[in-house]
Chain A
Amino acid sequence: DQQVKQNSPSLSVQEGRISILNCDYTNSMFDYFLWYKKYPAEGPTFLISISSIKDKNEDGRFTVFLNKSAKHLSLHIVPSQPGDSAVYFCAAWNQGGKLIFGQGTELSVKP
């Protein structure tokens, strides 16, 4: 039962353009969402989060949008840089206090 889903395993974007990473969830009780960036053989690094009381949170080049009615969130990176190339995970806290991850999307930003 995949409660947090990232349906795109990979995404390729040109440097300078916008990267949009998508995430869907099934449990309407989730109320706090996070995005992590991960390089191979390293632990995930926290990027940005959003509470369900908001629909947008921005931090520099990173913006997360939340659409509660659609149970969908997205991470926008603009402008994209080659150093952004990594695997991005969407995650949500469940009511049991566990952080549930999506499958990840591998972003490749080409110069």
Chain B
Amino acid sequence: GAVVSQHPSWVICKSGTSVKIECRSLDFQATTMFWYRQFPKQSLMLMATSNEGSKATYEQGVEKDKFLINHASLTLSTLTVTSAHPEDSSFYICSAAGRTLNTEAFFGQGTRLTVV
């Protein structure tokens, strides 16, 4: 399957600082990227959908000013957690899909964010 690389795999930051997570599709053009958040023992919660060159669409309850998403190219999307707080500590996962809607979506390795 296609390769999606997410970086970093884990990060610890202080409260009030910002953290950027990168998601790259290495061998295909990802017209759409998705950002998910997973709490322990729970499902993947979709945070936002980003299409290359346009603004991200956020799910209800997700603060767009806190979780900044940029999808500047067909191979790169970034999620920036701004002014992080301990409650933002979670596992963040990106996913990339190509032009065809009914197809597989491929996931990055995930990023464990811990805010202290």
A residues near B (Cβ < 8 Å) are 31-32, 34, 36, 41-46, 49, 51, 89, 93, 97-104
Q: What's the Cα separation between A43 and B4 when bound, in Å?
A: 10
Q: Which residues of chain B in 67-104 are interfacial with respect to chain A, using CB atoms and an 8 Å cutoff?
A: 91, 93-95, 97, 101-104
Q: How far is the CB of A98 from chain B (nearest CB, A)?
A: 6
Query: Which 6 pairs of residues, A with B, have the shortest CB-CB distance?
Result: A43-B107, A32-B102, A103-B43, A43-B110, A101-B44, A44-B107
Residue from A41, A49, A98 in contact with B104 in the complex, judged by beta carbons closer than 8 Å: A49
CB of B54 closer than 8 Å to a CB of A = no
A43→B42 contact, CB < 8 A: no
Known: A31-B102, A97-B101, A98-B34. A43 touches B109 (CB 8 A): yes
Partner of A41, one of B1, B34, B42, B110: B110
In the complex, the answer to whether A97 meets B44 with C-beta atoms within 8 Å is no
Within 8 Å by CB of B6, from A43, A49, A89, lies A43
**For residue B93, which residue of chain A has the nearest CB?**
A43
Taking CB atoms, residues of chain B closer than 8 Å to A51 are 102
B43, B95, B103, B106: the one contacting A104 at CB < 8 Å is B43
Q: Which residues of B contact A34 (CB under 8 A)?
A: 104-105
Least CB separation from B9: chain A residue: A41
Contacts of B97 in A (CB 8 A): 99
- Contact of B32 with A by CB under 8 A: yes
